[in-house]
Structure 1
């Protein structure tokens, strides 16, 4: 009787817990003893980040996929603020938290969620919810970078994203598409014409889509903006232009991204959307097609089917890479030679940080550290969490995502890796020792690669082939799983074998002439 009485009161208890949780806008988290060597320099927030806005100033997320994250995060927040005894009738199983926390006070997320349901393998977006995107933090500013998380928090975050990715791979998501982002290489005349073709087709549909194209096309003669909107007043209001700043500040504006080009165009989409990323539907118009899944020639049929029947999304792991600069020690009074290994494994004093963050990037393919224009090899120290892995002398190293396993990683001798694998691929580029074989690491660690203080020359780091920066002796880069995965739209009819088809088609993987069968001699009849 006691259990049945408790079963009749879960809604009442849940409402009471929600109200109590909402009354507390902030909470404090203290790192446990598992992180005794936690880097105080690494705990410094990167440029442009800080505490989030109070709950009453924030808007609920407009992301229909992101709403799947919300119940997990809110359950954890509620449990942290008001947890019943484990043996209580109301005890709730712990749910992984996907939001990073640091030792400063940060505000919790808005718990408005639960607007979407899963039925008949279709998630139907509620009308009027607005933009769609996939991210752990929705349409609000990120408060914490993943390098700041404890081992358990990174594991919980990675596990939660993997679980969601498994679910999304077997369902169709029906979207209420209104805002469409078109991405193409603005310097390619052929692609400019195709951008106009897609935009014109969308404008002619019965649905009043708002189409965004790159702002440089407004005065482009091939795109012919004036000729496109001439004679139809509504086209002027529905055909709009995006800028890099708009992508960075309001990524939740768009429901879907249409990429016209090759894999480089898809990588550019990842670069534009450094936090929240709308689902990316890529049409193949380039050289290779690992990430471009659809044929441009049938774009009207593809878009009609996607908007009316729904899409299947594959969440691709991205890395968060932060450049950490060495800080002068004048104020600390130190005169002894500095050792990068000792600084990254040892403990810092409270008032003397050895490094400070200088730029954070979310990347889809790889982080590369190389010798740059220097004639000598790079010297690189590699760390995982609080352990020194090895010292490398090579032309450089490649730290790749599973998606990037077919790019620079493969050319450097690394292994092919299915994009669903939760791993970090570490490959040396022309190592001085022949024993440095490529290794595969879990995505739950924070990897650090730095230039030792006694290195002969500096090294250079690039992120998805962009934003090349110099790493001077004492500087290092942290690499960890990003809280913002990249949602790639897959063809529903061949989603299960898509990756194998890609490597077979583009790399001729294991392609050879079949071995002939033995020809048996005919036995003589006696």
Structure 2
């Protein structure tokens, strides 16, 4: 059931006797409905509601495309939306309020969820209730994530699901300092939201516009005869067309396990890097992820952390070089003598690994990248491995500094000692195909990122044709990273 709506700035509905913060109480609303008498209210604010009261998340479905991208197909409209703005950025906060008001007003039955600090700071500016809780409760409730910020905000969103195989689609608006991972500009938020929300709706032919109308009228709906889904009936007229759906780039992640000298998994002892999360226990793995783990054999026994960027092992404040034995599929590859070592995903190849001299890899490449950090040997170069490789990093007894520091995506860290081992492998990404427990068309693994689709005028702006399969990676490489930028020229 849809949560109660506030009726405007002067009449706001909320439950009596509820405490918002400190000692301030919510006061009841008194409405006089007799003829000839006006409404009377007592001042109150909309509530901050608990995420636990929301229904469980809707798992989206995906269809494969020849380009390597996926097409998002909602079985029914998403309801629980997590909005993550960049922190400590007033302009982004203002945009977040505008975005929240738009999607709540134009698309009914939505519940908007924020991190607690964000919810407390903006809910008074929103004429409807919002939801919040501890981050551990988010994964089982979130249908879709929208981020407003830079690459760090996207990583923050992905880290909320670091213990989970089923990550909600992430719609990212580039409002940060870099924004290489987020292709949507915020001034496109109406079109972007319309596209991702209506994806898979297959509304009636009379609501379609443009060249897709004729295709639908001829009966050529996606999938060959799929039935129209009336669940989107309240937002008819907003469809992108029956053959149009949001394009998704599924970004690979790493599965990381840390083991002590006796081979016991010690992932639960990893410390959050954020001081706000120091006392947060690891959330339980949901049933669908536990079943998926049993179906997918892994060298990582126990809870595995997922990293969208990289695993880093480094010497920290020690003045001595680290000695790390590197094993690939059980075979000893080399002894790394360096400040540290990186194991990166293709997404992470343009992050820390790039700064350390690693190669740039397209996010659709199924690979792992091992990059040394300031190696003693000049012949120790970055190394690409198949995604299916199992990499083990063992601390050698030669370490004079004894302890090394490990970081997983910059979100969790630990100190490890000689004899301990770090096991890293690529996360398996594949259709699940077992409707008995997750639903047909669901995919396990990876971080699904909604990619910007070409709009009107894009061809003229870029000076060449823009295809439907253009994922923007080349444009980001040239425009943001200044790939092969000419020396001494001003542009």
Closer, same or farther: CA 315–165 of 1 in aligned 2, 3 Å: farther
- TM-score, with length taken from structure 1: 0.57
The answer to which structure has the higher helix fraction is 1
Write the distance in 1 (CA, Å) between the matches of 2:248 and 2:92.
25
Q: For 1:278 and 1:285, locate their aligned partners in 2 and report how far apart those are by CA, in whole Å.
A: 21
State yes or no: 1:169 paired with 2:69.
Answer: yes
Which residue of structure 1 lines up, in the alignment, with residue 157 of structure 2?
Answer: 269
Q: For residue 247 of structure 1, what is the aligned residue in structure 2?
A: 138
Deviations 1:182-225 (A, max 9, x none): 112343333222222211112212422111111223432xx1x2
Q: Which moved more, 1:261-270 or 1:195-204?
A: 195-204
What are the equivalent positions in structure 2 for 1:421-500 lying under 5 Å apart? Answer: 421-457=365-401, 458-483=403-428, 484-493=445-454, 495-500=469-474
Contact 2:68 2:364 in 1 (8 A): no
Taking a change above 3 Å as real, the CA distance of residues 434 and 324 of structure 1, as seen in their structure-2 partners, is: same
Which of the residues 205, 209, 215 maps onto 2:106? Answer: 205
- Counterparts in 2 of 1:265 and 1:495: CA distance versus 1, 3 Å: farther
Aligned to 2:247: 312
User: Partners in 1 of 2:303 and 2:107 — Cα distance?
Assistant: 44
> Aligned to 1:257, what secondary structure does the other structure show?
strand
Residue 458 of structure 2: aligned partner: none
In structure 1, the residue matched to 2:58 is 131
Which of 1 and 2 has greater Rg? Answer: 1
- Equivalent in the alignment of 1:116: none
| Candidates 173, 182, 196, aligned match of 2:97 | 196
- Closer, same or farther in 2 for the Cα pair 1:495/1:254, shift >3 Å? farther
After TM superposition, give the deviation of residue 358 of structure 1 in Å. Answer: 7.9
CA displacement, residues 65-91 of structure 1 (integer Å, 9 cap, x when unaligned): xxxxxxxxxxxxxxxxxxxxxxxxxxx
Q: CA deviation at 1:166?
A: 5.3
RMSD (CA atoms) = 2.9
Cα deviation, 1:118-151, whole Å, max 9, x if unaligned, reads xxxxxxxxxx99613579xxxxxxxxxxxxxxxx
* TM-score, normalization by structure 2: 0.61
Partner of 1:512: 486
Structure 2 portions without partners, runs of 5+: 1-54, 199-239, 265-298, 429-444, 455-467
Distance in 2 between residues matched to 1:392 and 1:486, nearest whole Å: 31
Deviation track 1:332-386 (CA, whole Å, cap 9, x = no partner) reads xxxxxxxxxxxxxxxxxxxxxxx99786310001111110111110110000111
Matches within 5 A, 1:68-83: none
Residue of structure 1 in register with 2:234 after alignment:
none
Query: Which secondary structure does the structure 1 equivalent of 2:304 belong to?
Result: strand
Deviation string, structure 1 residues 383-404 (Cα, Å, up to 9, x no partner): 0111011101100011110111
Equivalent position SS for 1:323: strand
Distance 1:211 1:297 in 2: 20
CA contact (8 A) 2:336 2:375 kept: yes
Q: CA, structure 1 residues 286+327, in 2 after alignment: closer, same or farther (shift >3 Å)?
A: same
Query: What SS is found at the alignment partner of 1:488?
Result: strand
- Matched residues in 1 for 2:301 and 2:320: separation? 27
- Say whether the 8 Å CA contact 2:307–2:408 is kept in structure 1: yes
C-alpha distance in structure 1 between counterparts of 2:333 and 2:65, whole Å: 31
Offset, 1:242: 4.2
Tell me the residue number matched to 1:302. Answer: 192
Name 2:168's counterpart in structure 1: 278
Cα distance in 1, alignment partners of residues 117 and 321 from structure 2: 41
